[in-house]
Structure 1
Amino acid sequence: MTNAMQLNLTTPGSNLTSYIATANSIPMLTAEEEHALAVDLQENGNLDAARRLILPHLRFVIHVARGYAGYGLQQADLIQEGNIGLMKAVKRFDPSVGVRLVSFAVHWIRAEMHEFILRNWRIVKVATTKAQRKLFFNLRKSKTRLGWFSHEQVQTVANELGVKPETVLEMESRLSGRDVGFDGYQDDDDDSFAYAPAAYLQDVSEEPARVLEAADWSAHNEERLTQAISTLDERSQDILASRWLSEEKTTLHELADKYGISAERIRQLEKAAMQKLRSALMD
């Protein structure tokens, strides 16, 4: 295989079937060969060693990309993004750790694919049917020319594309929505990290007013419960305390022996006491 053919494998073109067949035909490396190439790359910066590490693992990128077929994105694009992750993994692979490259690279490959899916997921959400996808791309071109639509422009676009004005307005609202990246990097430089919005959203859980309100509400409920329990007879109070408020809960049979009645009668008294408490707390 020529060097040109090998280099072209990292960027799948229009003939994806041929690319996959060629990638699968590249022999896999033995553990010893992989380790020697990784050491050569790490110590000498040998780019040919990097290429020889990348090419046999292209088939694995293809395998991972197939797992994301349900997102409606082109397999060639997913494979290309996965190849970028593979290259990053090869660059950072440390042969002294004692793991195979494929085990290390899978995280980088999936990370790049996930990033690509998230960048393009909005398009998938905006257009969920073939007709909507056609409208989406045509409408995007029209908005580039016209800017924000007036009523007349909506009618014009609807007539041009053969759809209802309501459909154009719905798609326009989807297009005008702005997605906020919740995680990720600012650019291709992995050291330039952009913190997710959750990192700087205001935390109001410890706000003094909220804390005081929660404490007052808890004290109020506790007082109401205490008052409700005090309306019960002593035996019912003891049954509830033994069954629900003690760290070591008493069984029905133990309470039955204590009061000289059946366990079923204890259960009935417990149920009646709980009903009285609920009624008192609901008033």
Structure 2
Amino acid sequence: MPIMNLLVAFNGTASAEAALRYAASIARDRQAHVTAMLAYSTHDTLDTSSRWIPREARALLSDAKNDLLREIEAQLDALRGDLQLGDGLSFRAAPGRVDTILAETGRTFDMIFAGRPLVGDDAHIRLHPDKLALMSGRPLVVVPEGYDADARHSHAALAWDGGRAAARALSDSLRLLEAQGRVSVLTVGSAPGLEDLLLHLDRHDVDAVHEAWPEGHPVAASILGYCRRNDPALLVMGAYEHSKFREDFVGGVTAAVLRETPIPVLLSH
């Protein structure tokens, strides 16, 4: 099935702009449609209903939030010419819990794109890609700030451990892997199903090579080091094969890769 309908979580940050540009580069090649969505929280970081906050201050806080939303929409309008999507780009805004709105909306799209969160992101528009990957049921591409979407590559990397999440990521990304034409399969230690995986990619006309590290090598560091040295256009991996709580508690592979990746990462759960 072709990739024709893409959702971008667009909150005006530098990484959100990188995600939008990356999604647009994919859409132009396929004549797909991109929806840029601004999800924003209606919850105030201060209790503005408190009688201790003067009416004038409450009005200023409300105006500041509305100004932020208008600035983000204006930023998207300023990008339309560069994106070259014409009528293939639409915008919508929705209030509510940011991650929930994006996850529920994304279930009717082929793929979701989001920027890597930045420390200074405003609380009203802050999103969490790890939660989107778990909640949406759709493949999620996380793009780091400053990534050059116009840098054409013909190479992707696939992290493979033979698990359920890795298999889901393979299926979700197959159309993109076919377009790249060359895939490096990355394994650390044992990797059940590796030979069948390489045969599967070959039958989809994907030129696959195997890059292996022995048991005991740190998984996240091995994957990230390979991406820094070889600069593939995309890293594909399963997200949270173990519980997210466990990964957060012990510092898991998914969190480490999202935090440090130099390239876009496609996550599936």
Q: Tell whether the structures are fold-level matches, with TM greater than 0.5.
A: no
TM-score (structure 2 length as normaliser) = 0.24
TM-score (structure 1 length as normaliser) = 0.23
Larger Rg: 1
Question: Which structure is higher in helix share?
Answer: 1
| Greater relative contact order structure (CA < 8 Å, 6+ sep) | 2
